[in-house]
Amino acid sequence: EAGVAQSPRYKIIEKRQSVAFWCNPISGHATLYWYQQILGQGPKLLIQFQNNGVVDDSQLPKDRFSAERLKGVDSTLKIQPAKLEDSAVYLCASSFGRAQETQYFGPGTRLLVL
Amino acid sequence: DQQVKQNSPSLSVQEGRISILNCDYTNSMFDYFLWYKKYPAEGPTFLISISSIKDKNEDGRFTVFLNKSAKHLSLHIVPSQPGDSAVYFCAATYGQNFVFGPGTRLSVLP
């Protein structure tokens, strides 16, 4: 069974530029999550999709972050414009159903904003 | 406001001994708890979980204990192996809410 795929693995941009991350969840998983993990902290949930609908985006900074999950499969997370404090690892995870089920994580995208 | 706390940033244990990782939470609404393990440059992987209706769950070398009255859970690894060296995250959930702790780095010394 293929795992959660994410690209790119690394990205370096200057502040005020835009960046996009892509995630392909495990086949058949209805729920998809995007997390931000700042160095030395635990992952923080940004947004959760159930199929192609948003379940929770309460911690997503909507003035600069956006995410979509077209057709209920893969997803993109965009930051525009980026700030220095957005430097972090962005993790995508998926699960078969709701939050209490095991989440399977991708390897993450490490973003550095200069 | 940190709802899930792991007060020990790091822990070193000798191979073969017991590793005990601790986690405290503040929100009494949490009804399901999980432990994830993370190696460098990889995403977290699920280790073990426990429902709030239980006080213990065991899976091989890993046991999780839950003390609801103290809002405390712990992960025991017996015996510890060098391959267990990783960052361990405690996570808590209720409904669609999912919160991770900051992690504890475990080093198992040969």
Q: Which amino acid is at B95?
A: G
B5 burial type by CB count under 10 A (0-12 exposed, 13-18 middle, 19+ buried): middle
Mutate to test the interface with A, among B38, B53, B54, B96 (most CBs of A within 10 A): B96
- In this predicted structure, what is the pLDDT of residue B97? 85
- In this predicted structure, what is the pLDDT of residue A52? 86
* B63 compared with B97, residue with greater pLDDT: B63
Reported as a pLDDT band with limits 50, 70 and 90, residue A1 is low
- Cβ within 8 Å, pair A42-B95: no
- Cβ within 8 Å, pair A107-B42: yes
Tell me the CA end-to-end span of chain A in Å, nearest whole number.
Answer: 37
Strand duo B97-100 + B4-5: pairing = unpaired
Lowest mean pLDDT among A89-93, B50-54, B85-89, B92-96: B92-96
Between vectors from CA B68 to CA A105 and to CA B79, what angle results, nearest 5°?
60
pLDDT digits (tens, 9 = 90+) for A18-55: 999 999 999 999 999 999 999 989 999 999 999 889 99
Is the pLDDT at B57 greater than 90? The verdict is yes
- In this predicted structure, what is the pLDDT of residue A37? 96
Mutate to test the interface with B, among A4, A46, A48, A105 (most CBs of B within 10 A): A105
Contact list, A106 vs chain B (CB under 8 Å)? 43
CB pairs under 8 A between A and B: 53
- Cβ within 8 Å, pair A42-B102: yes
In this complex, the residue of B34, B46, B101 whose CB is nearest that of residue A42 is: B101
- In this predicted structure, what is the pLDDT of residue A114? 97
Side-chain half-sphere exposure of A3, counting CA atoms within 13 A? 14
- Cβ within 8 Å, pair A42-B100: yes
